[in-house]
Amino acid sequence: NKQAQEIEPRMIEWRRFLHQNPELSNREFKTGKYLADFLKNLGMEVQYPVAKTGAVGILRGGKPGPVIALRADIDGLPVVERNALPFASREKGVQGGIETGVMHACGHDSHMAMLMAVAEILSKNKADVKGTIKFLFQPAEEGAPAGEEAGAYLMIKEGVLENPKVDVVFGLHIQSLLPLGQLAYRAEGLMAAVDGFNIKVTGVGAHGATPWDSVDPIVVSSQIVNGLQTIVSRQTELTKAPAVITVGSLHGGVRRNIIPEEVNMEGTIRTFDPAMQKLVHEKIKHTASAIAEASGAKAETDILVMYPVTYNDPALTSLMAPSLAKVSPTVVTQPVTMAEDFSFFQQKVPGFFFFLGAYPEDMKLTRRPVHHTADFMIDERAFVTGVKALLTLTMDYAYQPKSGKK
């Protein structure tokens, strides 16, 4: 606890530097090198680059024990920061061929800074560390650019859970709307699986003055959007498992007086249950096709399976919940419909993921500091709690009976 408090000023400096210098997914070149150099200066065995731009530090403790992985994500988002902070981002990047601002609008800068602090503290106490600690600084949690592999999936593919083989993985996510210092978790499904869908609607173009000459894909697309909303509300048994379908992008046409031939829409599907996931996929394809056909148009649906459910191993959660409670007030949260590719690690080894509250209650905000927005804001006082939580989980797991390895 004392060392976590002592490192706080430097941790905040690290976070502010990283906040000022964000990079987009799979483009975290400077960030990855910064982290790799930091780990090397601690005397760790370092693997870099991993999964294009990530870094892994390996700390071999002074006593035999389990192999524990701690993970932080490192990428920013294509968001223009609106906050008037002295360390606000002014960086630019290219997303989908379009220049955009870049911002750590989901708190990954804080995740890096906290894990850096944990790495330094454990390195200084190496003789007392039981087992091996792997520090996973993971790129591209927010998703790969088109046509690229990325993130936790690619890190696993490149072997970060092997040599030595990881026994357990811990991670956290800062939450700007949770009370400062609160630690929130739940066993089993914590965060949703997320999949993407693309629907191309093809009709017949015409002059805007003679719509009867067309099969209007804009009208058909609007009917499909409405139809998709009835899948969850009218075609699934929500008492069994929740689901969310969102259309986030719809594009068609170039002039007000031209009915186009084609409209494209994109959206996301969020589920917590494999059977529900399969059902929703089928319903989306059927709904789009049937509505289009009824109007004389054609709908082609592609579904991209993305991230699985962030699933906290029940036995591990039961074991580690008392460790969290030693650090700060805890709460068992409801499932969250956002998604996390930490879930890929949990598919391979038991994992425990939790939320750290950092609502900036003293900052007199004029807008809610929501994740993935230009107004995202967190209270840096939460970081010490996050460091203590990761340290406590690591040491308690390592020193539990039967955790040692010969």
φ/ψ region of 239 (left if φ > 0, alpha if ψ in -120 to 50, else beta) reads alpha
406 pLDDT more than 70: no
Say yes or no: 338 and 389 in one domain.
yes
Say yes or no: 356 and 279 in one domain.
no
Please tell me the pTM assigned to this model: 0.93
How far is 264 from 305, CA to CA, in rounded Å? 19
Q: Which of 388, 382, 374 is nearest to 12 (CA)?
A: 382
Side by side, the strands of the sheet bearing 330-332 are 45-50, 54-60, 130-138, 63-73, 168-175, 351-357, 183-185, 330-332
Identify whether 48 is part of a domain. yes
Quick one: pLDDT at residue 405?
47
Helix residue ranges, H only, 236-331: 274-294, 314-327
Mean pLDDT value across residues 192-213 = 98
User: Residue 64's domain is classified under what CATH number?
Assistant: 3.40.630.10
Q: What is the DSSP letter of 45?
A: E
Say yes or no: 354 and 246 in one domain.
no
Residues of the domain holding 111:
2-191+309-399
Say yes or no: 143 and 198 in one domain.
no
SS3 (DSSP) at 395: helix
Sign, CA dihedral 355-356-357-363, equals negative
Say yes or no: 226 and 343 in one domain.
no
Side by side, the strands of the sheet bearing 193-202 are 243-252, 262-271, 193-202, 298-307
- Write down which residue in 307, 326, 357 finishes a domain: 307
Say yes or no: 343 and 390 in one domain.
yes
> For residue 56, how many C-alpha atoms fall within 13 Å in the half-sphere facing its CB?
24
For residue 13, indicate whether it is catalytic: no
Task: Encode pLDDT of 203-244 as tens digits.
Answer: 999 999 999 999 999 999 999 999 999 999 999 998 999 999
124 pLDDT more than 90: yes
> For residue 404, what pLDDT band results from cuts at 50, 70 and 90?
very low
Mean pLDDT value across residues 73-82 = 98
Q: Count of domains in the chain?
A: 2
For residue 153, indicate whether it is catalytic: no
Task: Encode pLDDT of 357-402 as tens digits.
Answer: 999 988 777 788 999 999 999 999 999 999 999 999 999 999 998 6
Out of 8, 48, 380, 399, pick the active-site residue: 380
Out of 153, 307, 311, 359, pick the active-site residue: 307
Residue with tokens 């230009």: 374
Say yes or no: 216 and 339 in one domain.
no
96 pLDDT more than 90: no
The rounded mean pLDDT for the chain is: 97
